[in-house]
Amino acid sequence: HQTDGMRVGEGILQAARTFVQADLAEHADGHDWSHIERVTALGVEIAHRMGADPFIVELAALLHDVPDEKLNTSLEAGMAKLHAWLDTQPLEASTRDTVVSIISTISYAGGQRPEVFSLEAQVVQDADRLDALGAIGIARAFSFGGSRGRQMYDPTLPPREQMTREEYRNGRSTTINHFYEKLFKLKDLMNTSYGKELAEERHAYMVQFVEQFKREWEGTDKDNI
């Protein structure tokens, strides 16, 4: 029965919101509830435009950071927590498997291409990546960098290719470096056409930001006044 299904679906989404909000409440390094809200809203919007299943996208987006390695003792522990919560919900086995597969796909670091990369997984990944771009992406990067004790910028730093793994791990990288290492690459990794359009705009804004940042750092911004 259609309406029953929708009512059950809304109940599951509401339960997911409550669960995730409580789970993430204590984190202030960019992995906060507002990130989840933005990724969920954007995911649902992209889902509608791209013809993806909005319920699957919304549920996966709400839960996508639950198993994050940085928020758990390990990825495995995080996945166990996710499974334990899903066990409490009246979900069809196939829906549950799809949601778990989306979340594990986008949780593993590095642009790994899994065999099953559904449209819904592509949409959630795009929404998550879009939140690392633009003005909010900039704010999140500095917030994360600060929480790890990273410098904002160091023009004397060698490029990452010339650093040893140890040097890199020991915090010799900076938040501005993170733009080159990851953020500027994201626009070319978008899966959906709508996601790519939005990413281009946010990317352009970040490029401008970094240019202006360096002008101010070097003191050359006042030259044309």
Which residues are near ligand ADP by CB under 6 A?
A: 30-31, 65, 128, 131-132, 137, 140-141, 144-145, 150, 175, 178, 183
Q: Which is nearer to Ni ion, 65 or 126 (CB)?
A: 65
- What one-letter code names the amino acid at 87? D
Neighbours of 145 (CB within 10 A): 22
Name which of 70, 202, 184 is nearest 134 in CA terms: 202
Binding partner of residue 24 among ligand ADP, Ni ion, none, CB cut-off 5 to 8 Å per kind:
none
Among 128, 138, 145, 183, binds Ni ion (CB under 5 A): 128
Stretch that binds Ni ion, among 60-68, 140-148, 151-159, 216-224 (CB under 5 A): 60-68
Give the residue with the Cβ less far from ligand ADP, 10 or 154: 154
> What part of residues 61-80 is at the interface with Ni ion (CB under 5 A)?
65
Nearer to Ni ion, 23 or 65 (CB): 65
In the complex with Ni ion, the residue whose CB is nearer, 181 or 220, is: 181
Dist. CA 87–CA 80, nearest whole Å: 10
**Closer by beta carbon to Ni ion, 137 or else 173:** 137
SS3 (DSSP) at 180: helix
DSSP 115: S
* CB atoms closer than 10 angstroms to residue 223: 8
CA–CA separation, 92 and 95 (whole Å): 5
Listed residue (185, 131, 132, 178) closest to 151, CA to CA: 178
The interface partner of residue 30, options being Ni ion, ligand ADP, none and the CB cut-off 5 to 8 Å by kind, is ligand ADP
Q: Note whether 23 binds Ni ion by CB under 5 A.
A: no
Size of the site for Ni ion (CB under 5 A): 2
DSSP 18-43: HHHHHHHTT--SS-SHHHHHHHHHHH
